[in-house]
Amino acid sequence: MVMWMLIAIPVILVFGGLGLIVKSPKNLILGKIMFEFKEYERGVVYRFGKYHRVAEPGWRFVIPMIETFVKYDLRTETIDIPPQTVITKDAVKLNIDAIIYLRVDDPVKAELYVEEDYRKAIEEHVKGRIRNLVGSMEIDELYGKIDHVNNQLREDVQKLAIEWGVMIVNVELISVTPPQKMVDAMQAEEIAERYKRAELQEAETTKIRIGAIEAAAGQLTTPTLNYLYIKALKDVADGRSTKIVFPMELTKAVEKLAGGIGGNKQDLASAAEKLLEKIK
């Protein structure tokens, strides 16, 4: 019985210790040589300071004092480039803000082929390419070809980044801000253009209206025109005018109207005089 206990107790302790190691290796001594790499992570392992291997996903052993490693995340990440002042070909100062989307495809190249952190190296390269591209374009051309500039930046940066094991997903100019004086001038130009379009539209409308009146007037008889003439004078009097000067040909118009409709000129002239009194 005692013999079985002497054998069972060490076995239980050993398996219990292994269970604790698997559950939380970081809290034990073995946690210093056993590391977890998630599915999207890789480790570049050095042995005696020389590249040795890539640690794949899962639990991996690293020999203490002999091996070290650098962990890389293979997911897409973003680099927000701070705004920088760039001068266009036509000497306009612009504040340009950009963003980079990238991911590490080859952690060995990213670790060995870039003297400093690959993020910083790519950021500085993109800044330089933005200055070169924007400096070769006038401001109107730049605003009209933002997508072209984005594509050109991505292609140019990718040629360099691929040597570092990095894939450039996209590069975007998210803000291109001209000086405030130019913004004010552009707004004033836009307002003036709107007024111009409104005046052209009004002129076209007036032209159509005049054409319609001419077409209609061509079908009116002389008596009808005289009647409309008198009616227009009354409409003027019904308005806000406080003083009205009547043309001398009003009586003649009344006589023509009477003659055209076969009425008595004297009676109709009398009626016109009453109308004038009413208007006054």
Q: How far apart are CA 154 and CA 128, in angstroms?
A: 13
Q: Answer yes or no: is pLDDT of 129 > 60.
A: yes
pLDDT band at 166 (very low <50, low <70, confident <90, very high): very high
pLDDT band at 170 (very low <50, low <70, confident <90, very high): very high
3-state secondary structure of 69: strand
The pLDDT value recorded for residue 25 is 47
Q: What is the assigned CATH class of domain 77-178?
A: alpha beta
Q: How confident is the model over 89-93, as a mean pLDDT?
A: 86
3-state secondary structure of 40: coil
DSSP state letter for 114: -
Mean pLDDT of the chain: 74
Share of the chain above pLDDT 90, in %: 31
Q: How confident is the model over 90-94, as a mean pLDDT?
A: 86
Sorted by sequence, the CB contacts under 8 Å of residue 160 that are 6+ apart come out as 122, 125
CB 60 within 8 Å of CB 34: yes
**Domain parsing of the chain, residue ranges:** 1-30, 33-75, 77-178, 181-218, 220-280
Min mean pLDDT across 46-60, 121-135, 183-197 is at 183-197
Helical ranges in the chain per DSSP H:
2-23, 107-112, 118-135, 139-144, 146-161, 180-217, 222-237, 250-261, 265-279
Residue 163, phi then psi, degrees to nearest 5: -70, -20
pLDDT band at 265 (very low <50, low <70, confident <90, very high): very low
Instruction: Output the six-digit token pair for 276.
Output: 């004038």
Q: Answer yes or no: is pLDDT of 72 > 80.
A: yes
Q: Answer yes or no: is pLDDT of 208 > 50.
A: yes
The pLDDT value recorded for residue 191 is 57
